[in-house]
Structure 1
Amino acid sequence: MIYNRIAHLLGLALILMLTWAPAQTEGYALGQSKFGRIEKFPYQVMLIGKQLWRKRILCGGTLLDRRWILTAGHCTMGVTHYDVYLGTKSVEDTEQLGGLVLRSNKFIVHERFNPETAANDIALVKLPMDIAFTSRIQPASLPSRYRQDQFAGMSVVASGWGAMVEMTNSDSMQYTELKVISNAECAQEYDVVTAGVICAKGLKDETVCTGDSGGPLVLKDTQVVVGITSFGPADGCETNIPGGFTRVTHYLDWIESKIGGRSAPQQQYLRTQQHHQQQHHQHPYSDNNLI
């Protein structure tokens, strides 16, 4: 959630090249974004992927059960394997916090994922073994398939490690509160908003940014995951333009078909709040919008 003045969304690079040398980069927090305690986000996963043509890339993920992680389809592009960090707020703190690091080379991408339109931007990463749950490693809940509302007007929380030009092993997870807007309102910003997309925007200049890709969007004060960070404004993160997320309720059947079951949904939901329509010029989508 950190924005650097020379960092922008990176098109099909999508995520950050990482360096483990000390960084001199100065970060700028987005609006109300805050550093997070992993106990509040025990479902948050860090995915460090090795690509064939790059060094390393950074994405987020959501733990669904003892074996499966939910992430974005574009986070798998060119990746041969992941180092999966669970139960930690940073690479540096993993051992101290009792976190877990596993390597995985097994992942499933939606069969109709299209990076040119961000369609079906969803994937699953399979861990090499069943993991034990702790106070810092807990699964998120999938939303009920019987929810009739589209979440518009509800408060949600996005979390992740984006974005810095260079990420170090001491960079901490951050989170920010957003509000879901209707797809009709979001379509005024982007030309790729479909039933499989959910959009949310900040009260000020908060939005998801490079490196947050694949991470969770949950209903506030719950661990119910309703979105997967997918795309955002191509002209930078320090903006009040909404971010685009893969709508989890749209893909429940697909998730179940791959993992063979689903977590029981949490029953704590916030009441729908009245949202305010705002007029904007539409931002034609290009793959530069993928975060």
Structure 2
Amino acid sequence: MKVFLTILALAVASASAFEEVVHPKDVKASKIEGRITNGYPAYEGKAPYTVGLLLNNAWWCGGSIIGHNWILTAEHCTGSAEFATIYFGATWRTNAVFTHWVHRNDMINHHAADISLIRIPHVDFWQQVNKVELPSFNDRYNDYNGHWAVACGWGGTYDGSPLPDWLQCVDLQVMHNSECVQTYGSGTVGENILCVRTPDGKSTCGGDSGGPLVTHDSNKLIGVTNFVSSAGCQSGHPSGFQRVTYHLDWINQHTGIAY
């Protein structure tokens, strides 16, 4: 019995040592949440697949155009939403080329992971509004470890800053899950999670939830922004994304999109 109690105590101590996570949309800010910390302003047309989502006129998230009729985002953005306004082709957050309004019936929430789809009216593609490709089924086992990718979203450039409206992007390097587990534990970092390093305070943060992580070398959508450390976006702890390759079958099942 003493041995069991000792092991239990060690397990509890070990579990409590892991960093807690928070959804980026729930990071508090002075206005509608939305930020990339220590990133750089995007030029017009840099990320034409990025959309802004204003849900219930109350919280802000990001999303990615993956087809003429589909947006990919996070379930914690859409799960409790009754409606959303989608901003297309915006560099200045609310100055969109056009917007669409969708009802909760157009939102498909994953029941076991923090990822969701939004069905939209048909959108034509051009320089400022375009889709991003998903990884192919042949890449479903690619962990993208060490790859550089870009995340984009709207908001402030450091913790607690006033929130600028210009689209911000940040370049981040994918890390191996075994490294990310050391910070958050295996209960948080499963096979469906992809993590990135956040040196020098460069990170996703509040309002970037649901937004894209796209590879530099192949321009493929590999992550959907999910969580940051509860210690803060500039803490240097990894940022977490839903791993798109893990969800290719689910996406194809609902949208028919596959490569």
TM-score bracket relative to the smaller structure = 0.7 to 0.9
Which residue matches 1:185? Answer: 179
1:138 to 125, 130, 152: 130
For 1:175 and 1:186, the matched residues in 2 are separated by 22
1:30 to 31, 37, 58: 37
Residue-pair matches, total: 231
Unaligned 5+ runs, structure 2: 1-20
Which residue matches 2:81? Answer: 79
- Compute the RMSD of aligned alpha carbons: 2.6
Counterpart mapping for 1:245-264 below 5 A: 245-262=241-258, 264=259
Question: Would you say the 8 A contact 2:36–2:169 is kept in 1?
Answer: no
Which residue matches 1:152? Answer: 145
Question: Would you say the 8 A contact 1:207–1:241 is kept in 2?
Answer: no
For 2:199 and 2:24, the matched residues in 1 are separated by 28
Q: Tell me the SS of whatever aligns to 1:253.
A: helix
CA offset digits 1:172-230 (Å, max 9, x no partner): 11010110000000000112100000000134221110100000001015431000000
Which residue matches 2:98? Answer: 100
For 1:166 and 1:81, the matched residues in 2 are separated by 28
TM-score between both structures, scaled by the size of structure 2 = 0.81
Question: Would you say the 8 A contact 2:36–2:155 is kept in 1?
Answer: no
Pairwise CA distance, 1:238? 1.4
Q: Tell me the SS of whatever aligns to 2:86.
A: strand
For 1:80 and 1:167, the matched residues in 2 are separated by 28
Compared with structure 1, are the counterparts of its residues 103 and 43 closer, same or farther at alpha carbon in structure 2 (3 Å cutoff)? same
1:234 to 230, 233, 253: 230
Pairwise CA distance, 1:90? 2.1
Question: Would you say the 8 A contact 1:86–1:101 is kept in 2?
Answer: yes
For 1:222 and 1:160, the matched residues in 2 are separated by 20
What one-letter code is carried by the residue in structure 2 that aligns with 1:56? A
Query: Which of the two has greater helix per residue?
Result: 2
Pairwise CA distance, 1:258? 0.6
TM-score between both structures, scaled by the size of structure 1 = 0.73
